[in-house]
Amino acid sequence: MGSHQDTVGARIGMWLFLYTEIMLFGGLFVLYGAYYRIHAVEFIGTGQELDMVLGCVNTVILLVSSFFVAASVTAVRRNSTKGAMAFLAGAVLLGGLFLLNKYFEWGHKFHLGIYPGSPGLGESPPGRIVFYGLYFTITGLHAFHIVMGMVLLIVCIAMTGLGRIQKERFLLLENCGLYWHLVDLIWIFIFPLFYLIL
Amino acid sequence: MDPHIQSYKKLGGVLGVLLVLTAITVGVSRLDLGSLSLWVAMVIAGMKSALVLLFFMHLKYESWLIRGSFLMTIGVLALFIGFMFWDVAFR
Amino acid sequence: MTSFYHTPFPARFRGVWAWLLTLDHKRIALLYLGAVMFWFIIAIVLGFLVRMELMTPGRTIMGAETYNAAFTLHGVIMIFLFVIPAMPAIFGNFLLPIQIGTDDVFFPKLNLLSWYLYMLGGVLAIVSLFADGPPDTGWTFYVPFSVSTQTNVGLTVTAAFTLGLSSMLTGLNFITTVHRMRVPGMGWLQIPLFTWSLYATAWVQLLATPVLSITLLLVVFERVFGTGLFDPARGGDPVLYQHLFWMYSHPAVYIMILPGMGVISEIIPVFSRKSIFGYKAIVGSSLGIATAGSLVWAHHMFTSGMSDVAVFVFSFLTFIVAIPSAIKVFSWVSTMYKGSILMTPPLFFALCFIYLFSVGGLTGLVLGSAGTNIQVHDTHFVVAHFHFVMFGGTGFSFFAALHFWWPKIFGRMYDFKRAYLSALLIVTGFMLHYVPMFILGLQGMPRRYHDYLEQFAPGNLFAGLGALIMVPGLFLMVINLMMSLKQPVDAPADPWGGTTLEWSVPSPPPLHNFIERPSPGEYPYDFSRVGTP
């Protein structure tokens, strides 16, 4: 069937898929908006309990990894296979680092008795419970997307090594890159909404 | 195939601006702007995401279809959030 | 030219694998046809049992618990496994590529994956029946009940999530196909109206379905982790669940009806021997319905404790949706005016559609208007209204499409007399079934109740009698169509005298649809190009 050559069409398909991801997280942002309006004071108070420094570090990590992925496309198009693989490996490592930070962050909260449905959290004011409910749902779903993105990037590394991604044929890399950037994009909004509201 | 290969220098520049914007949004959040602070944070996040979209995601070089449909998606989401406030804001 | 039945794609597969691993959009459409009809028949039986239970006051054939499960499953199966996928997945898959003059959809593998996701969703739905007792929440899964009930809601919700994913991927495929694969020379205003309606639908599928996905995920999270996002005792707000749910599920109503409207827009001109009236108006109204229909979700929630301002705004917007819908109805009727009308079973079903859909649409205004809504909210009036739209609308357009494109898909002509008879039984039974429910609703009989007061007995009896007429009609229709496969009455390429591209290829079409590159006319509904059949 005649579609295999049409990279523009394949990219359109990828963007359409990204729209579904945007709307998926969008549903949660709808909830955030409504609950922010209802529980503004408690949201602001609870936001200060999150570790802003860790949030900043993770933001920087994702931005740099996004840069690496964008740079890997440039590398492939300049026919530098090694460079592309190095950039992608860097992005995957940063993704891993992001997850590690998240692990410590969540672990610390669990240690304090703060997790969905925990008895300790149950005694706090309602806004605080909702804030943490949203926090765990949104960052959890986001972390899941990071894992998926890392898998895709690892596939890209392998494909680049095998010569399946190269100067004239980099659609897969471009589309996986788009996915990774989207995950970064969502974090750009999660960061101020949870870590910076004061 | 779009002919635009973006140089490392340009991508690095974009990353630089993104990091500066991150610093600004953190700094601004320390100021007491009252109810404005959420809006300021959202505007800066919007600027950051615009940079990621335009350069990292090549939206700047895409066809009208992708650019238009992206804006439509954001518009639909904005309407969903906005129309929710017909209820939440007037209870 | 051998038909696609004899040329598997990819060619190396034989027998059952030629179907299960096929990448041919026509075979995938038939896979969907089989699966969708299976679920349709199960849901008909469930609905029939619900109606039989309500035929007399008190317990008739089942207890209250079974009744709750039966209507929930009837709703879930009909909505997620029949009405939403029926048009796009069956007729869209088969006809969209042919109507725009190409050989397949843009992502054939994704297309097959959508079918497997659909099947997986169906299997999960079956398993949920037997694991911890069938779900009893109604198809809306409202919190807090869906979070607290002991029945197996989690699995049913997962099934709906999977089916949503399948529907989303189909939409993604269609949008890309329409943009990238139209035959050269086919501009946007030369696209047939059925494909246009699928295109508008695909956008709604793509942008609204993820909101349902996240809503259903949240229900699962609530049940598993006890997040408390919708629990008032913990700061949550159950009304927000309803907002999220209807943000998808109201646009989903237009996912269900828009392709049906597209079918009618194809059938009416063919059998009126007249170019469609207001081609651009119909295209515009499809897009208008898709847009406006996405912004009226909260009219399902007028009695939920929402703010008065919201009630006012959403009621107003609901009235706006009536405008593009009416444009379509007027265009169809105007197409028939002074046309040279040829009565056939598909046209008969299409005419039933126009009437029943109009009734459904107008009673929708009764519900959309905030004042009258309070009176009839959650009564049988609502049930009658959405069955007029979903069954009288989508259902009848589905039957019309079956009879219209059956010769194209299978290359066989069915028996007209039995087709008319079944249509007559269905529509008579339909009226007897649902009209009393409007009256019952106005009198105040609530929906979803197992038992009712003595004063509602006559209406329920009539409704039950209607079901007794309608259901045999449905089975007669299916049997009649199946019997055509046995009879060797071969259908010609263009049995009706249609003008769109699917009628220019043999029935059934060859593997790559077109023998030579088709040349679309200036205008898809130019009847000066064909003679009378």
The residue with greater pLDDT, A150 or B6, is A150
Secondary structure (DSSP) of C489-532 = -B--S-SS---SGGGGS-SSPBTTS-SS-----SSTT-GGGS--
Q: Do B90 and C309 touch (CB under 8 A)?
A: yes
Q: Within a 13 Å sphere around the CA of C442, how many CA atoms are in the beta-carbon half? A: 9
Nearest CA in chain A to B12: A67
Q: Write the residue in C208, C227, C244 that is nearest to A133 by C-beta.
A: C227
pLDDT-derived band at C1 (thresholds 50, 70, 90) equals low
Select from A8, A38, A67 the residue whose CB has the most chain B CBs within 10 Å, as the one to mutate to test that interface: A67
Q: Do A8 and B63 touch (CB under 8 A)?
A: yes
Interface of A with C (CB under 8 A): 1-3, 6, 8-9, 12-13, 16-17, 19-28, 30-31, 34-35, 38-39, 42, 116-117, 122, 125-130, 133-134, 136-137, 141
**C35 CA to chain A: closest CA distance, Å?**
26
CA gap B51, B48 in Å, rounded: 5
CA gap A77, C331 in Å, rounded: 53
Q: How far is CA B87 from CA A29, C212, C243, in A?
A: 16, 20, 10
Nearest CA in chain B to A7: B1
Nearest CA in chain C to A135: C227
What is the pLDDT, as a whole number, of residue B3?
Answer: 61
List CB contacts (< 8 A) between B79 and chain C. Answer: 294-295
Q: Write the residue in A9, A130, A136 that is nearest to C235 by C-beta.
A: A130
List CB contacts (< 8 A) between B65 and chain A. Answer: 12
Nearest CA in chain A to C161: A24
DSSP C190: G
List CB contacts (< 8 A) between C173 and chain A. Answer: 13
**B15 CA to chain A: closest CA distance, Å?**
6
Interface subset of B 33-52, CB within 8 angstroms of A: 37-38, 41-42, 44-45, 48-49, 52
Q: Write the residue in A19, A60, A184 that is nearest to B19 by C-beta.
A: A60
Q: Do B91 and C207 touch (CB under 8 A)?
A: no
Any B CB within 8 A of C207 CB: yes
**pLDDT > 60? residue C533:** no
Any B CB within 8 A of C211 CB: yes
Cross-strand pairs, C379: C446
CA gap C258, C263 in Å, rounded: 9
Spatial contact of C235 and A126, defined as CB atoms under 8 Å apart:
yes
List CB contacts (< 8 A) between A117 and chain C. Answer: 225-228
**B88 CA to chain A: closest CA distance, Å?**
6
**B83 CA to chain C: closest CA distance, Å?**
8
Q: What is the pLDDT of residues C347-394, one digit of tens each?
A: 999 999 999 999 999 999 999 998 899 999 999 999 999 999 999 999
CA gap C436, C322 in Å, rounded: 24
List CB contacts (< 8 A) between B64 and chain C. Answer: none
DSSP A123: T
State the average pLDDT over residues C291-307: 91
**A168 CA to chain B: closest CA distance, Å?**
9
State the average pLDDT over residues C53-58: 93
Q: Counting Cβ atoms within 10 Å, is residue A30 exposed (0-12), middle (13-18) or buried (19+)? A: buried
Catalogue all structural domains in chain C, each as residue range(s) with its CATH number.
Answer: 17-527 (1.20.210.10)
CA gap B10, B3 in Å, rounded: 16
State the average pLDDT over residues C424-451: 95
Any B CB within 8 A of C180 CB: no
At residue C490, what are phi and psi to the nearest 5 degrees? -80, 140
CA gap A167, A160 in Å, rounded: 10
Q: How far is CA C106 from CA A86, B1, C11, C166, C278, in A?
A: 33, 18, 19, 16, 30
Tokens of C236: 């949550």
At residue C514, what are phi and psi to the nearest 5 degrees? -115, 140
DSSP C298: G
Q: Which own/partner pairs from B19-24 qualify as long-range (CB within 8 Å, at least 24 positions apart)? A: B19/A60, B19/A63, B21/B47, B21/B48, B21/B51, B22/A56, B22/A59, B22/A60, B22/A63, B22/B48
pLDDT < 50 positions in chain A: 1-3
State the average pLDDT over residues C210-224: 93
Amino acid at position A52, single letter: M
Give the closest residue to C21 by CA, choosing from C116, C87, C105.
Answer: C116
Q: Do A35 and C247 touch (CB under 8 A)?
A: no
**B90 CA to chain C: closest CA distance, Å?**
6
Catalogue all structural domains in chain A, each as residue range(s) with its CATH number.
Answer: 2-195 (1.20.120.80)
Compute the mean pLDDT over every residue in chain B, rounded to the nearest whole number: 91
Compute the mean pLDDT over every residue in chain C, rounded to the nearest whole number: 92
Domain boundaries, chain B: 7-57, 61-91
Q: Subunits that touch chain B (at least 3 Cβ pairs < 8 angstroms)?
A: A, C
Q: Do A133 and C229 touch (CB under 8 A)?
A: yes
Interface of B with C (CB under 8 A): 65, 73, 76, 79-80, 83-84, 86-91
Tokens of C446: 């609530």
Spatial contact of A111 and A165, defined as CB atoms under 8 Å apart:
no
**pLDDT > 60? residue B29:** yes
**pLDDT > 90? residue C239:** yes
**pLDDT > 80? residue C530:** no
Q: Write the residue in C239, C295, C314 that is nearest to B79 by C-beta.
A: C295
Distance from the first to the final alpha carbon of chain C: 22
Q: What is the biggest distance separating any 2 CA atoms in chain C, rounded to whole angstroms? A: 71
Tokens of C93: 């898959």
State the average pLDDT over residues C220-227: 89
Select from A130, A138, A144, A175 the residue whose CB has the most chain C CBs within 10 Å, as the one to mutate to test that interface: A130
Spatial contact of C276 and C262, defined as CB atoms under 8 Å apart:
no
ipTM for the predicted complex comes to 0.93
The three-state secondary structure class of B35 is: coil
At residue C77, what are phi and psi to the nearest 5 degrees? -65, -45
Select from C216, C234, C240, C241 the residue whose CB has the most chain A CBs within 10 Å, as the one to mutate to test that interface: C234
List CB contacts (< 8 A) between C246 and chain B. Answer: none
Q: How far is CA A47 from CA A43, A55, A129, A134, C139, in A?
A: 6, 11, 12, 12, 37
CA gap C295, C309 in Å, rounded: 15
Cross-strand pairs, C510: C3
Nearest CA in chain B to A5: B1
What is the pLDDT, as a whole number, of residue A181?
Answer: 97
**pLDDT > 60? residue C79:** yes
pLDDT-derived band at C3 (thresholds 50, 70, 90) equals confident
pLDDT-derived band at C531 (thresholds 50, 70, 90) equals low
Q: What is the pLDDT of residues C30-52, one digit of tens each?
A: 999 999 999 999 999 999 999 99
